[in-house]
Chains A and B, each alone.
Chain A
Amino acid sequence: MKRLHLERLANPQLLALAGVLLINWLLFPNFFRITWQDGRLFGSLIDVLNRGAPVAILAIGMTGVIATKGVDLSVGAIMAVCGAVAATMVVAGYPTPVAVIAALAVGIACGLWNGFLVAILDIQPIVATLVLMVAGRGIAQLITEGSIVTFNDPALIFIGTGSFLGFPMAAVIALALLILVTLLVRKTAIGLFIQAIGVNRAAASLAGIRSRMLLVLVYALSGFCAAIAGIVVAADIRGADANNSGLWLELDAILAVVIGGTSLLGGRFSVPMAVVGAIIIQAMNTGILMSGFPPEFNLIVKAGMIILILLIQSPFATRLFVRQRLVPAKAGPK
């Protein structure tokens, strides 16, 4: 916590975002043009916010998980499950709030399951969440009975495509969630506890932190965020696609968190920067799409970005920009 204000001053994430936006602007002079039409804002920048929202929402939950030295591979599958729940319930005639609350509850239940495996049964997070990652899409298809469930419920569609004060609803939801979670981890001791678990779980437990309960909570939050993202994505396309909803988004969310400066070795995390990371990814996506490159080209750029981050975070680089570390660099897990 002591070093926190230092990190904030350096802020390489915001510089990176500015860089990506600048490149986009140089390639497309219209990139920053925003117009007002039919009571909402239009423009490439707004599009970046709108399209980046699901990954940003996932990244908010993922940050907490990664800060405890864990990882949640199941968020993409949970998105599919929750989207399927919301869609089928609306189609079955339930009122929208009931369907949304049910979907959120299912997301939290999935998160609790992950938390149970990790915290109570002491299973490695990557394996524990793999179970739901594999089975989740099957469950989602079970709910939708293998088809894409489409719906016309105006209230549910509003969540995905509506606008609030001219901004797309998805971005507004992401922002609200960001503020809520940031307040939760920075204005209460929870953030400190999470960091303590990430640095050394055994020591944290000995210091009196109820690490099991906190771990369960962190995974439940991740499941909750995945549920919101799942509802947003389903509402956006007006249908629940069990096969493709949230496919590989867990990897994007992890990437966003890592770009945001959260250490994969646990302990250091920042929720707002993870959201900035998600926006950086989406800004690059949009730039590549607008340039007319095939979307797969994106993968290579992402790979390059991961390698760059690894180089920056590596012990070599740390020794270069000599900065005293509280935690000495040690051999990471293989």
Chain B
Amino acid sequence: MKRSLRPLAATAIIFIIAYAASVVQFPGLLSTRVLGNFLTDNAFLGIAAVGMTFVIISGGIDLSVGAVIGFTGVLVAVLISWLGIHPLLAFVIALGVAALFGAAMGLTIHYLQVPSFIVTLAGMFLARGGASVITQDSVPINHEFYSTLTGLIIRLPGGGRLSFIGLLMVAVFLAGALLAHRTRFGSYVYALGGNAVSASLMGVPVARTTVQIYMLSSVLAALAGIVFSLYTSAGYPLAAVGVELDAISAVVIGGTLLTGGYGFVLGTFVGVMLLGLVQTYIIFDGTLSSWWTKIVIGVLLFLFIVLQRIIFAASAPGEKSPEKV
């Protein structure tokens, strides 16, 4: 097997083993119903995690994801419920706003030469604060278009349902994988994360690519916000607090290296599913409290980080990873 695919394989094998172990304990887990709900319940997280994967492969980090989800939810809800705009137009507006927002962050990161960490932290404050200034309350969305979208369900044998948002997440993952591995933009992202200086010497348009990466992340976060508003039929300024941490965890568990330059979009998918499995297992068990989710995710994170270090120490002897903030 190709050495570079090892972390991805490790994640996939761990997921399969964990799933099999859970099924042995709770046979009910092996049903199309549970698998369908896996997709539906984690749709917004998965879509946001795709954008996060690109950011992390490029060597950056985006802390604004959760706040953008919350802001988009509020914006869409207000546009539809208060101003009477058709949801499709509201979606376009929300995605456009997010694109501008991401572009502004990308421009700041590139031209002011500051760590993405602090810029996206400012973005997080701005988006969360902006959402709270628009409204402090939860704004319900009652529009027939929403009912139509949530009613789009493919029924599977065994009582399972593939919802529109679950399929949308799968589509985003496939598109993300194509974008990362089959386009020029994708190779620019990897080059940038591997070594920004050599990338720019080789003719990678660093400024444009950086802006595009953060635009992509914010647009996908906004799409996740729209999906979240479909999921809850409401917009709330404090929705999806801390989702950026879940997204980062999913990306790391999916085998993407946090120093950049290496990773897989489809690995992130397995990471999201693994996080979903932890939650589902805890619900199935019934005696474990929800706080175990956090501990298990923390332990998984730790295991995968150490695993990555061991694999990369073995494959590149004597080479130290570059230190980054």
Contacts and interface: CB of A to CB of B under 8 A. Distances in A.
Interface of A: 69-71, 117, 121-128, 130-139, 141-142, 146, 201-202, 242, 251, 254-255, 258, 264-266, 294, 296-303, 306-307, 310-311, 313-316, 329, 331-334
Nearest to A123: B305
Interface string B11-25: 000000000000000
A135 B259 CA distance: 22
Nearest to A299: B129
Given A131-B301, A264-B118, A302-B122, 16 more contacts: A69-B325, A71-B117, A71-B325, A121-B306, A122-B320, A122-B321, A126-B325, A134-B249, A136-B298, A141-B291, A146-B289, A300-B130, A306-B118, A331-B113, A334-B58, A334-B59
A221 B306 CA distance: 24
Given A138-B298, A307-B108, A300 B291 contact: no
Contacts of A141: 289, 291, 294
Given A333-B59, A334-B210, A296 B325 contact: no
Q: Which secondary structure characterizes the binding site on chain A? A: helix
Contacts of B299: 135
B306 A254 contact: no
B121 A331 contact: no
Interface in B56-99: 58-61
Contacts of A301: 129
B130 to A, nearest CB: 7
A264 B130 CA distance: 26
Contacts of A135: 294-295, 297-299, 301-302
Nearest to A66: B325
Contacts of A296: 128-129, 132-133, 136, 237
A218 B225 CA distance: 39
A76 to B, nearest CB: 11
A131 B293 CA distance: 13
Nearest to A314: B112
Nearest to A135: B298
Interface residues on B, range: 35 or more
A299 B128 contact: yes
B123 interface: yes
A50 B111 CA distance: 39
A255 B237 CA distance: 22
13 contacts: A117-B305, A121-B309, A132-B298, A137-B294, A138-B292, A251-B121, A254-B118, A296-B132, A298-B129, A300-B126, A314-B111, A334-B58, A334-B210
Nearest to B64: A303
Contact of A131 (B111, B129, B302, B321): B302
B258 interface: yes
Given A124-B324, A296-B237, A297-B132, A131 B121 contact: no
B263 interface: no
Given A146-B291, A299-B125, A302-B125, A127 B237 contact: no
Interface of B: 58-61, 108-109, 111-119, 121-126, 128-130, 132-133, 136, 192-193, 196-197, 210, 237, 245, 248-249, 252, 258-260, 289, 291-295, 297-299, 301-302, 305-306, 309, 320-321, 323-325
Contact of A307 (B122, B124, B293, B325): B122
Contacts of B133: 294, 296-297, 300
A332 B136 contact: no
Contact of B125 (A69, A123, A264, A303): A303
B258 A124 contact: yes
Nearest to A144: B291
A303 B129 contact: yes
B301 A134 contact: yes
Given A122-B320, A299-B125, A306-B122, A334 B196 contact: yes
A286 B292 CA distance: 36
A301 B111 CA distance: 22
B291 A130 contact: no
Contacts of A137: 291, 294
B245 A130 contact: yes
A300 B61 CA distance: 21
Contact of B115 (A121, A133, A332): A332
B132 A311 contact: no
Contact of B325 (A128, A131, A202, A265): A265
Contacts of A130: 245, 248-249, 301
